[in-house]
């Protein structure tokens, strides 16, 4: 598992800062350490505890061959979410969560195929002869639009096994669809969030860029570890399989040659003529 950040590192990233006391969610009470100048302060020891649980689960999922989907559509999260996803070749959503991404996945797949068809048309050698300048411009605009909404999930061939979110409230549609499709979620939960809608909530500042960057980096490193562990297991399994195959293959059977005199004697006993013996 990725090395957990120290309390000092969490403090430097501003992970402990929550929202104003007037904007809190009662179900976050157990994660609030104190209130200073009207701002709620998150208990970082509980942050580390919940983070450890989330990372252990994430590694287990990836090691077992599961896919993690990164989601972060608010401005300060987009860059860090995409960087973490790109680092491990994971699917991501950073522009806008399309309603039905999980609950109507077949329609999303149609949009992905449409994007791929447009890209194929635009990359064809005869594109200039086949389409007018205006038609090519229309294609370019449609490609840009589709890339923004489904470009990050074009490698997603089915429902993900876990979704990682930078902000539960900002991407509540994603959370709602995940709950409906029983897809586990890992998410930063600020003091104004209901942690019960998330499978693995991590009490943390979900507004500060440095806080988001810290956690997304940890998720990326954990996925890398899971992928490496999966590859190591596959290599080990292949080696054991080869060894077992070598041990179960016995020596080649030798051809048994019966002397002619024994064959003749056997034929006489059953009443056949010697000339029938080949």
pLDDT score at 240: 79
Give pTM, 2 decimals. 0.83
Q: What are the pLDDT digits (tens) for 189-212?
A: 999 999 999 999 999 999 999 999
Select from 70, 50, 64 the least CA-distant residue to 163: 70
Domain residue extents for the chain: 7-102+159-232
Identify the three-state secondary structure at position 164.
strand
216, β-bridge pairs: none
Judge whether residue 51 has pLDDT over 70. Answer: yes
> At 44, is the pLDDT very low, low, confident or very high (cuts 50, 70, 90)?
very high
Give how far the C-alpha of residue 146 lies from the chain's centroid of Cα atoms, to the nearest Å: 22
Rounded to a whole number of angstroms, the distance between the first and last alpha carbons of the chain is 73
Select from 233, 239, 236 the least CA-distant residue to 64: 233
Select from 213, 203, 216 the least CA-distant residue to 42: 203
> At 98, is the pLDDT very low, low, confident or very high (cuts 50, 70, 90)?
very high
pLDDT score at 64: 96
Residues in the chain: 278
Sheet strands side by side (includes 92-93):
92-93, 68-71, 162-165, 185-189, 200-203
Mean pLDDT computed over 101-130: 92
Q: Under a CB-based contact definition with an 8 Å cutoff, are residues 171 and 186 in contact?
A: no
Report the percent of the chain where pLDDT is more than 90: 76
Tokens of 259: 């002397």
42, β-bridge pairs: 32
Class of domain 7-102+159-232 (CATH, top level): alpha beta
pLDDT score at 238: 76
Mean of pLDDT over the chain: 90
pLDDT score at 244: 74
Q: Which helix (H) or strand (E) holds 146?
A: helix 133-150
Mean pLDDT computed over 150-172: 96
CA contacts within 13 A on the Cβ side of 184: 16
CA contacts within 13 A on the Cβ side of 25: 15
């Amino acid at each position: 598992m990725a090395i957990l950040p120290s309390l000092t590192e969490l403090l430097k990233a501003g992970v402990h800062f929550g929202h104003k006391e007037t904007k809190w969610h009662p179900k976050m009470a157990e994660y609030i350490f104190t209130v200073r100048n009207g701002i709620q302060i998150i208990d970082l020891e509980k942050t580390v505890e919940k983070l450890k649980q989330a990372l252990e689960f994430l590694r287990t999922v990836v090691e077992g061959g599961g896919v993690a989907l990164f989601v972060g559509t608010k401005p300060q999260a987009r860059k860090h979410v995409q960087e973490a996803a790109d680092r491990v070749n994971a699917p991501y959503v950073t522009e806008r969560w399309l309603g039905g991404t999980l609950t109507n996945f077949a329609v999303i797949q149609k949009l992905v195929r449409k994007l791929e068809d447009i890209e194929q048309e635009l990359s064809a050698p005869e594109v200039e002869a086949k389409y007018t300048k205006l038609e090519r411009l229309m294609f370019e605009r449609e490609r840009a639009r589709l890339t923004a909404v489904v470009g990050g999930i074009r490698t997603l061939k089915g429902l993900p096994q876990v979704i990682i979110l930078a902000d539960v409230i900002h991407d509540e549609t994603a959370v709602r669809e995940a709950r409906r499709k029983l897809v586990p979620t890992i998410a930063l939960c600020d003091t104004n969030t209901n942690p019960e809608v998330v499978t693995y909530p991590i009490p943390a500042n979900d507004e500060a860029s440095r806080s988001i960057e810290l956690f997304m980096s940890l998720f990326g490193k954990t996925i890398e570890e899971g992928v490496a562990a999966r590859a190591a297991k596959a290599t080990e399994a292949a080696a054991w399989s080869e060894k077992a195959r070598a041990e179960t293959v016995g020596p080649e059977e030798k051809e048994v040659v019966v002397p002619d005199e024994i064959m003749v004697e056997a034929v006489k006993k059953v009443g056949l003529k010697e000339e029938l013996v080949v």
